[in-house]
Structure 1
């Protein structure tokens, strides 16, 4: 099946309690969110555990869907400079010529605060010897009136400097289950991946998303078709969502600009040409605000490194997604191969992976290489999406190829997130 629900399943999903949302901004007694505002507290008030549990995977998008929304957020006046030099990626031996691999630099945490340095004191000058001179007759100095002391200005005491927030506790990374290549298993998830909740057309929906390292430590990555549309509202990311523990690390709202539009970056061609014609660009980045404790998402759960130009054939990819009505996410490992479309209506080449049990809801799930079990992060080389929005069968998934276009989109998101601070 397609990576989204069939129409019958959509109707059924929208009939669950709290599924249909007649007014997206004021459901269940929640006050409408002010234009330009959408904080973690507001997101948690809106996305209750019951509403998250009843959210459905996105319904199928029409193949010729064109987004009438403004194609891009305002660009900053100057491009942002990279925070760090680009790190080299381990060489990949592709089966055919591809772009040279390059890795997006990982933002390093700011150094620990230290006391302000004391002003340097210049060394005391040694007085030069004065030449001997003939004695001069003593003179009587005229008495000078006592100087009037200038009033000392009274300064109000400086307000106390607020104590810095304690560093967030390091997210615990559960071990992955024993995996057989190509066989998906439900598991308790990893902190860096989770569900992206949103309201669209009056309904509560979700996709899968993951944190991607960035200088601002505030970007998440998903599929373009998940976040497409001017009616996409109340968007929030929940790391390591499970029904038993719906907010283990809090909720991170996708920020809005002054006009009330969610800060999401999708290639303009994907918006204008539609989900099939521009399937090779089915990728989206979103800027999320801090959780209710004030911490950025990457500081709490870590982030994957975005890698572009790594090739289509990867020997071992870890695939994570949140399937339809499952209470927990799903994980699988397998190799990827190159798939080139023969359908002129859906042009392009894509990464293809065979993993069982990835239906609707898993769209946006990361393709991870070099997964590190200690940190729970890896190199993200794809997301479920692209060919027929991620695949027309639950056991085979696809991703748009991460090449120069995706790198440029990431750089635009980094610059836009920096300009918005």
Structure 2
């Protein structure tokens, strides 16, 4: 663990007189919350049987990993500009130096899935510290189609994904292997109201999943040696580093990118079923990543430690802007449900 901490210090950057951070949020002592929130109904989830997880691992051949649809399962990216008149200043993404497996960014990877329309797609996701040592954080729309949709299937997570590697050698493009999703969860609000257009349901566009042990019986966090610590109800005046694998043009999903930006508050526009859901204001930042980066973690240095504070939810690539949900009590409930469920998922829900 000392090695990870020293690598994190090497990633700290001074930007406009403040501290920006890399993805090595790796003082991993569990999640943190600072303020109570409203208690919601139990977050929904989907369990995958051992047969389904094995099928998922077999389904995602090296060839299929290269044949994903950049827009499948990722409704949150649009051309043009956001409806808000004062978006953040655009930021051009910077490629993260390879090899990822030797850096704190190894906890970040790609989530591959077949969406509820039968299309192969991908998102970004981050291994997070949990008592069960097998949890990964992403966007809600990366695991469920939202209003009128269903849970995605054949979901596989590849940490430190590197498609620049030799596809004939899994250790090259998947240095820590492929991990089958055995349970996925998101917010009730995303399932009830999520849509393929900008609307207020994106305030709840967060999700998580747990992965089955690998075929050697190991748990994900034990193999990686780390996971990001989540800060629920974080401060709103933050500098963040966001990470993701953008796959929409001009990107191809084969490289991990980052953006460094100050956050500001954003309230998504657009009613759902004729009503404004009036959710908590989201964060938004300057970042020109495209579809495929959804679900990628946003990290901030708070009190000298690095935490995951949001995830990419939607963006306007022409404007170089992205937004992510504020991780409040509802997000914490999703996290806690996965912890409770993780040791008991062995049959379909």
Bin of the TM-score, shorter chain as denominator length: 0.5 to 0.7
Alignment of 1:6-405 (within 5 A): 36-39=50-53, 42-59=55-72, 182-187=91-96, 188=98, 189=100, 190-200=105-115, 201-229=117-145, 230=150, 232-243=152-163, 244=165, 245-255=172-182, 263-275=183-195, 276-301=199-224, 302-314=226-238, 316-324=239-247, 325-341=252-268, 343-345=270-272, 347-348=278-279, 349-356=281-288, 358-370=289-301, 378-385=306-313, 390-393=314-317, 395-405=320-330
The two structures have a TM-score, normalised by structure 1, of 0.55
When residues 249 and 36 of structure 1 are mapped into structure 2, their CA distance, relative to the original with a 3 A threshold, is closer
Aligned residues: 252
Provide the aligned C-alpha RMSD in A.
2.5
Q: Could you list the runs of 5+ residues in structure 1 that have no partner in the other structure?
A: 1-33, 64-180, 256-262, 372-376
1:342 CA displacement: 5.0
Matches of 1:318 and 1:326, distance apart in 2 = 19
Q: Is the 8 A contact 2:123 2:245 kept in 1?
A: yes
TM-score scaled by length of structure 2: 0.66
Residues 217 and 248 of structure 1: is their aligned pair in 2 closer, same or farther, counting only changes over 3 Å?
Answer: same
1:87-120 deviation line (CA, Å, top 9, x unaligned): xxxxxxxxxxxxxxxxxxxxxxxxxxxxxxxxxx
Query: CA 1:46–1:191 in 2, change beyond 3 Å: closer, same or farther?
Result: same
Question: Equivalents in 2 of 1:60, 1:36: separation in Å?
Answer: 24
Give CA deviations for 1:269-327 in whole Å, capped at 9, x if unaligned: 2211223342111011111012232211111221100111112220x211111111242
1:51 aligned counterpart, secondary structure = helix
Instruction: Give unmatched runs, 5+ long, in structure 2.
Output: 1-47, 77-89, 166-171
The structure where strand makes up a greater share of residues is 2
User: Secondary structure of 2:66's match?
Assistant: helix
Give the number of the structure whose residues are more often helix, by fraction: 2
Q: Deviations over 1:341-361 (max 9, x none)?
A: 4544564411011023x0010
4+ aligned runs moved over 6 Å, structure 1: 60-63
Conserved in 2, the CA contact under 8 Å of 1:317 and 1:335?
Answer: yes
Shift of 1:51: 0.9
